Structure 1
Amino acid sequence: MWYVSTRGMAPRVDFEGALFSGYAPVGGLYVPEALPQLGTETLRQWSALSYPGLVKALCSLFIGPELIAKDDLNDLIDRAFSRFRCKEVVRLSRLRNGLNVLELWHGVTYAFKDLSLCCTAQFLQYFLEKRKKHIIVVVGTSGDTGSAAIESVQGAKNVDIIVLLPKGHCTKIQELQMTTVLRENVHVFGAGCVAQKMGLPIHLVVAVNRNDVIHRTVQRGDFSLSETVTPTLASAMDIQVPYNMERIFWLLSGSDSQMTRALMEQFERTQCVSVPKELHGLLSEAVTSESVTDEVITQTVRRCWEENQYLLCPHTAVAVSYHYQQRDRQQPRYGGQRGG
C-alpha cells in the first residue's frame, strides 16, 4: 500500500513514511493511492468481528506485512486496547425509539481520540525501536486530543510529546488530565468518507455546533473561515479549519490532486473558497449536514435523559439532535391538533 499527497507533487511513501511525515513536504495530506474495495461477503464476515478484530482486519489492508508482520500487528493492536475499561473497547447502547449510541469513551482519558491515538502510539514506538530513533511530537488541542495523546505515549522511551492547549478554553477535567499526571517525556504548555468509498453502504451525516464551516461547505459550497471561533458547550468542535476537508475534496473529486491543490492554496491565501459546482454536488450527495445551538444541545441532553435515563455528553448530543429532528419530522413528538 502506497500513500500520496492530496496535492500531488510529492513522492509516494509507504505507511511508515506517511505516519512520520504528517503533512506532505510541499503541502497536502497523505491518502492511500488506491482504496481497497470491500465486497458483500467481506462486510458480512466483518460484521461478526469484535472491535479489536475489526481494527486488525482494516489495518492489514493499509499496512503491508513487509512493514509490520501480521502477528506483530495483532500484538500492537491488542496492546493498544489493553487499558480500556470494557473488554469490547466500544459499546453500542440501544435506546428507545431507534436511537443507538456507540460509546467511544471507554479509554483511559474518556475521549474518543483514545481509540485512534493508542494505536498510533504503538505504531510509532514499533518503528522507532526498530530504527533506534527518537522523535518529539507536537500537539495542538482544544481538549480531548491533548490528554489522549499524552496518555498514549506516557513513559515511551523513544517519544517526547509537547502539547499546546488554549488556557481557559478546555474543560477542567481535560486541563487536569494534561497538567497533573506527567512523565519525563511529557511537556505541556498553556496555550467516514473513506469507508463509504471502500464500499460500506452508509450515508454520512455531519452534525456540528455553531462553528459551522463544514455545514456551510456541505450546504452552500462555502468553505470559508468565520470571523471568530464561537465558544460552545461542545468545545472539542470549536474549530475554524477542519483539515480533513482536504482529504474529502480529494476523494470526491476522483483523486484530482490538481483541483485539490488549487482549492487549498486559495483557502490558505484568502481563507475563502467557493467549492466548484460539480464537486459540491458530489459532496452534498454523499453527506448531509446540520448545525445546532447550545440551546438545542441542552434540550437534547434533557430529552435523552427523560426518555432513557441515559446521559449524553454535549458532543454526542450534537449528533443525537439530528436523530431527534428526523424522527420528529416523521412522527411528531406531541400528537393531536390545536385549535386555531
Structure 2
Amino acid sequence: MRYLSTRGGSPSVSFFDAILTGLAPDGGLYMPQSWPRLSEQVLRNAAFVPYAETAAAILSVFAGDDLSADDALGLTEEAYGSQWANPAITPVQQIGPGDYLLELFHGPSLAFKDVAMQLLAGLYSHILERRDARLTIVCATSGDTGGAAVEALKQTDRVDLFVLMPKGRVSEVQRRFMTASGAPNVHALDIEGDFDAAQALVKALLADQAFSQEVTLSPVNSINWARIMAQSVYYVVTACALSAGSLVHFTVPTGNFGDALSGYVAKMLGAPIGRIMIATNANDGIAQAFETGTYTKSAASITTLSPAMDIAVASNFERIVFEATGREQGLLKQLYDQFGAIGSFDLPNEAQAFLRSHYDAFGVDDQETRWALADCFEQTGEVLCPHTAVGWRARYGQGECEGARVLLATAHSAKFPETVEAILGQVPSLPPHCADLFARQEVRIDMPATIEAVKAYIRGHLGVAA
C-alpha cells in the first residue's frame, strides 16, 4: 500500500514512512492511494472475535507488504491488552430504543485517543527496532491527545516525546496525565497560546526539513495516518455488531475532524455505516461550512466547557475535502493555499454534495452543553463528559434514521470534575488505575509560542530528562 499527499507535491511513500514522517513535505496529509476493503469474513466476524483480531485485519490491509499478518496481530494484541479497564476495549451500552453509547474511555488516559495511541506506540517501536533508529515525537494537544501520547510512550526506548499544551486551557486532570508521568523521556511544554498556536508550531517544525531531519521528527496528532486508521476499528466493530440488516448511524463530537474522518474510513472498508453526525462546540467552522459552503478560519479558538474541541482549524478536514473533490490534488492545493492566504475557501458544489451524502453537522454552545449533560443524566442516569454532551445535544438535530444510532462517548467524566459538579452536583471519581493522579509530582515547562524557542528546547533535551 502506498500513500500520497493530499496536495500532490510530494512522492508517494510506504505505510511505515507515512507513519514516521506524519506530514508530507509539501504540507499535505497522507492518504492511501486507494481504499482497501475488508473481506466478508472479517466483517461477519467483527462482532464476535476479540477486538485485537479485527484491528489486526484493518492494520494489515493498510500496511500491505510493510507488515506480516503475524506481526500485525502481535502489535494489536499488545495494544489492546491488560492496560484496558474493560476487556471489550470499546464496549457498547444501550441507552434507549435503538440508541447506544459507545464507551471509548476505558484506556490508560480515559479518552478515545488511547485507542489509536496504544497501537501507534507499538508501531513506532516495531519500525525503530527494524531500522535501528531513534525518534523525536512532537504532539500538540487540546487536552486528551497529549495524555494518551504520554501514557503510550512513557519509558519507551528510542523515543523522546515533547507535548505542546495550551497554557490554562486544559482541565487539571487532563494536564496531570501529561505532567505527572515521572518518565524521563516525556517533556510537557506549557505554550503561551491556544491549541491552534500549538498545532501551528508542530506543523512548522515538521515543515522545517533541516530541523526535522536533524532530530528525526514525527507527529502523533491525528495528522498521522495511523491515528485515523486505528480509530476506524471501533466503527467497524460497532456497526457490524448493531447492524441487523440496517445501516448504523453515528454521532461524533469533534474538533480536529479526525474521529469523524475515521467513520468515513470504516465505511470505505465495507462497514454498514449510514449517516455520521458531526457535533461541534462553539468552534463551529465545520458546521458552518456544511451550512454555507464556505470553510472559514476563526481569528482564535473560543474557550468552552469542552476544551478538547476548542480548535479553530480542523486539520483532518483537508482529508475529507480531498475525497469530496474527487482526489484532485491540484484543486486541493489551490483551496488550501487560499485558506492560508485569506483564511477561507468555498467548497465546490460537487464537494458540498459529497459531504452532505455522508455527514450531517450541528454546532452546540455551552448553554446547550449544560442542558444536554443534565438531560442525559435525567433520562438514562449516565454521567457524560462535556464533549459527549455536545454529541447528545447534536443527536436532536439529526432527522429520523432507520437503524441503530450510536453516540461516541469520547472521554471519562472524571476528566472534567468541575464542569460535572457544577451541572449535576456530583463529582465523578477517577478509576482505580489513576486514583493517585493528584498525588503524583508534576513537571511542566513554560514556553513561548515561537518555533525558535521550541526548537532550542528540543535540541537541548534529546535523551535528557526535563
Query: TM-score of the superposition, structure 1-length normalised?
Result: 0.92
**CA distance in 2: counterparts of 1:133 and 1:289, whole angstroms:** 43
C-alpha change, 1:258 and 1:326, in structure 2 (3 Å) is closer
User: Helix, strand or coil: the match of 1:230?
Assistant: coil
2:289 matched residue in structure 1: 217
Aligned residue pairs total: 329
Q: Aligned pair 1:292/2:291, yes or no? A: no
Larger mean CA deviation between 301-310 and 154-163 belongs to 301-310
Amino acid at match of 1:44: R
1:309 Cα deviation from its structure 2 partner = 1.1
Amino acid at match of 1:323: R
The amino acid that maps onto 1:239 is I
CA distance in 2 between partners of 1:247 and 1:326 (Å): 24
Aligned match for 1:239, one of 311, 321, 327? 311
Output the amino acid matched with 2:188.
V
CA distance in structure 2 between the aligned counterparts of 1:106 and 1:170, rounded to whole angstroms: 20
Alignment match, 2:299: 227
Read off the aligned partner of 1:67 and give its amino acid letter.
D
Residue identity opposite 2:265 in structure 1: V
Residues 225 and 271, structure 1, Cα contact 8 Å, conserved in 2: yes
1:311 matched to 2:311? The reply is no
Distance 1:34 1:326, change over 3 A: closer
Q: CA deviation at 1:265?
A: 1.3
Which residue does the alignment assign to 1:205?
277
Amino acid at match of 1:216: Q
Equivalent residue in structure 1 for 2:266, among 191, 195, 204: 195
Show structure 2 runs of 5+ residues with no match: 192-262, 402-466
Within-5 A mapping of 1:1-340: 1-38=1-38, 42-64=42-64, 66-82=65-81, 83-191=83-191, 192-200=263-271, 201-326=273-398
Shift of 1:38: 4.4
Is the 1:22–1:29 Cα contact (8 Å) retained in structure 2?
yes
Q: Which runs of 4+ in 1 moved over 4 A?
A: 38-42, 325-329
The residue identity in structure 1 corresponding to 2:89 is V
The alpha-carbon deviation at position 98 of structure 1 amounts to 3.1
8 Å CA contact 1:99, 1:323 repeated in 2 = no
- Which residue is equivalent to 2:258? none
C-alpha root-mean-square deviation of aligned residues, in Å? 1.9
Q: CA deviation at 1:68?
A: 2.1
* Greater displacement, 173-182 / 193-202: 193-202
Q: CA deviation at 1:326?
A: 4.4
After superposition, give the CA deviation of every residue in 1:177-201 in whole Å (9 maximum; x if it has no partner).
1111231111111112222334333
Q: C-alpha separation between the residues in 1 aligned to 2:282 and 2:312? A: 11
How far does the alpha carbon of each residue in 1:91-112 deviate from its partner, in whole angstroms, 9 at most, with x for none? 1011124321100000001011
SS of 1:63 mapped into structure 2: helix
Q: Distance in 2 between matches of 1:228 and 1:171?
A: 19
Task: Give the stretch that moved more between structures: 297-306 or 111-120.
Answer: 297-306
The share of aligned pairs that are identical, in percent, is 34
Deviation at 1:131, TM superposition (A): 0.9
Amino acid corresponding to residue 175 of structure 2 in structure 1: E
> SS at the partner of 2:295?
strand
Q: 1:286 to 1:213 in 2, by over 3 A?
A: same
Query: Residues of 2 paired with 1:182 and 1:266: CA distance?
Result: 44
One-letter code aligned to 1:99: D
- Structure 2: how far apart are the matches of 1:108 and 1:140? 19
- Distance in 1 (CA, whole Å) between partners of 2:55 and 2:170 is 30
CA contact (8 A) 1:204 1:288 kept: yes
Change (3 A) 1:298 1:98: farther
Q: State the 1:325 CA deviation.
A: 4.3
Structure 2 distance, partners of 1:182, 1:24, is 33
More relative contact order, 1 or 2 (CA 8 Å, 6+ apart): 2
Q: TM-score, normalised by structure 2?
A: 0.68
Counterparts of 2:278 and 2:63 in 1: how far apart (Å)? 28
Q: Which amino acid aligns with 2:114?
A: D
Counterpart of 2:202?
A: none
Partner AA of 2:109 in structure 1: T
**Deviation of residue 322 (structure 1)?**
2.2
SS in 2 for 1:27: coil
8 Å Cα contact 2:296-2:345 kept in structure 1: yes
Unpaired runs of at least 5, structure 1: 330-340
1:26 Cα offset (Å): 1.2
Contact 2:362-2:397 within 8 A present in 1 as well = no
Q: Whole-Å Cα distance in 1 between the matches of residues 184 and 75 of structure 2?
A: 23
1:226-271 deviation line (CA, Å, top 9, x unaligned): 2321111111110011111111011122221111111111111111
Letter of the 1:289 counterpart: A
Q: CA deviation at 1:279?
A: 1.2
Secondary structure in structure 1 of the residue aligned to 2:274: coil
Q: What is the Cα deviation at residue 52 of structure 1? A: 2.0
Contact 1:52 1:89 in 2 (8 A): no
